[in-house]
């Protein structure tokens, strides 16, 4: 079983930055993809970024490309989402998720483990 715990959310002004962390515990999965999704109030959960744990490949939603960076911290067994140039439209609950396999899917339904989420609020 895999457990995911997000942290680092908060309130920030437009143009600011936040660093989200996802602590991964439980059984180690050597072939897996880690993803970040967010869900704004009244909207569907949508893809933000993903990375292959093994080869560090990355994929980003068009809306965050160039502003957000996903990375893996092997020493701490964590997945990081560095968010820069934040916009009010980024306001949402951010979730860390895992899927088995190396395909960096944008489909939330293909991920089998989820954290409880951390709130990010960007004011204008």
Q: Span 93-106, mean pLDDT?
A: 94
Neighbours of 104 (CB within 10 A): 19
Percent of the chain with pLDDT over 70: 98
> Does 56 have pLDDT greater than 90?
no
> Does 27 have pLDDT greater than 90?
no
As a dihedral over the C-alpha atoms of residue 41, residue 44, residue 50, residue 54, rounded to 10 degrees, the angle is: 110
């Amino acid at each position: 079983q895999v457990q995911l715990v997000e942290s680092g959310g908060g309130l920030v002004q437009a143009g600011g930055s936040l660093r989200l962390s996802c602590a991964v515990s439980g059984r180690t999965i050597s072939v897996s993809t880690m993803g970040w999704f967010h869900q704004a109030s009244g909207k569907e959960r949508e893809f933000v970024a993903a990375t292959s744990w093994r080869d560090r490949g990355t994929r980003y939603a068009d809306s965050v490309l160039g502003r957000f960076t996903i990375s893996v911290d092997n020493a701490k067994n964590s997945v990081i989402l560095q968010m820069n140039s934040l916009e009010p439209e980024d306001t949402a609950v951010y979730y860390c998720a895992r899927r088995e396999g190396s395909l960096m899917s944008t489909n939330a339904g293909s991920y089998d483990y989820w954290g409880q989420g951390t709130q990010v609020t960007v004011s204008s």
